[in-house]
Structure 1
Amino acid sequence: MTANLRTAIGFLGKAAVAATLAVPFMMPATAQAPALAMLDNLDRGQWELRYRDGRPSEKICVRTGRELIQIRHPGRACNRTVIEDSAQEVTVQYSCRGDGYGRTSIRRETRSLVQIEAQGIAGTKQFEFTAEARRTGNCR
């Protein structure tokens, strides 16, 4: 351990140093460009979201799979941080400047069926939902 590092630990404390060292690994998805391969392997087309709380279903055109991340912030350029990126599940936390934030987990059952859990703030309103999304055909 160098003298400078010992001084930093003494001055900042171990937790602050650990947090500083972890920053490069917590960069937004736009900076790291993670694969999110599970979303890339979903079938393209029109999907229907069926909400578990009984609210009316919603249709969404899936062109890249990433549309499912920001269902309450569609089309917004938001900063994303990938929390989990596996073959069966992705979790992304995102922040949309001036319009809120969210955290979405998507679990793949098949190429045309996923389970979604999301929560956050859109505008000034809180949202939280679980839904099943299923491909129903081609986009219109």
Structure 2
Amino acid sequence: MTVRAALRRASAAAILFSALAWAPAADAERGGMTLAMLDRIAPGQWQVRTRETGGFDGRLCLAEGRPLLQLRHPGQSCRQFVVQDEPDAVSVSYTCGPAGSGLTRIRFENEQLLQIEAQGIARGLPFAFNAEARRMGSCSH
């Protein structure tokens, strides 16, 4: 990614995060909204493939869908704000202190196929990607 492209993405992310301040968001940590769509995702081994470079590619063993919200900030304790909570789509903005922040939108195709859009800042650098998540089967332990 060129410096110019990275700056454009960072500017777009800043504008989007500013716009989110005006959106009616609920604090997910306080149980404001349920994100029930993520509970419809079939547990098991999921393959995530991005359409661009610099995203997230890999396999995840998921019991439920919430880890998909923070693919570039895995396992970090972040404060989440629900932007959209509908039967077939969720959008969550999150902040992880100095580790960065992000905005993720997950669209439900079926129990075994999802579309993910994410953007934000990780390790001081902007990121933005579109990905497809597909269930591959049971988790192997």
TM-score by length of 2: 0.77
Aligned-partner residue type, residue 132 of structure 1: E
- Please give the residue correspondences for 1:14-53 in structure 2 after superposition, counting only pairs within 5 Å: 26-53=25-52
CA distance in 2, matches of 1:97, 1:44: 30
Q: SS at 1:38's partner residue?
A: helix
Residue aligning to 2:85? 85
Residue aligning to 2:102? 102
Identity of aligned residues (%): 44
C-alpha root-mean-square deviation of aligned residues, in Å? Answer: 2.0
TM-score by length of 1: 0.77
For residue 124 of structure 1, report the CA deviation from its aligned partner.
Answer: 1.1
Residue aligning to 2:66? 66
For residue 113 of structure 1, report the CA deviation from its aligned partner.
Answer: 0.2
Report the CA distance shift for 1:62/1:32 in structure 2 as closer, same or farther (over 3 A). same
Structure 2 residue runs without a partner (length 5+): 1-21
Q: Answer with 1 or 2: which has the greater Rg.
A: 1
**Number of aligned positions between the proteins:** 118
Structure 1 residue runs without a partner (length 5+): 1-21
Q: SS at 1:69's partner residue?
A: helix
Q: Higher RCO, 1 or 2 (CA under 8 Å, sep at least 6)?
A: 2
Task: Output one character per residue of 1:96-125: Cα deviation in whole Å (capped at 9) or x when no partner.
Answer: 012000000000000110000000011212
1:120 aligns with 2:120: yes
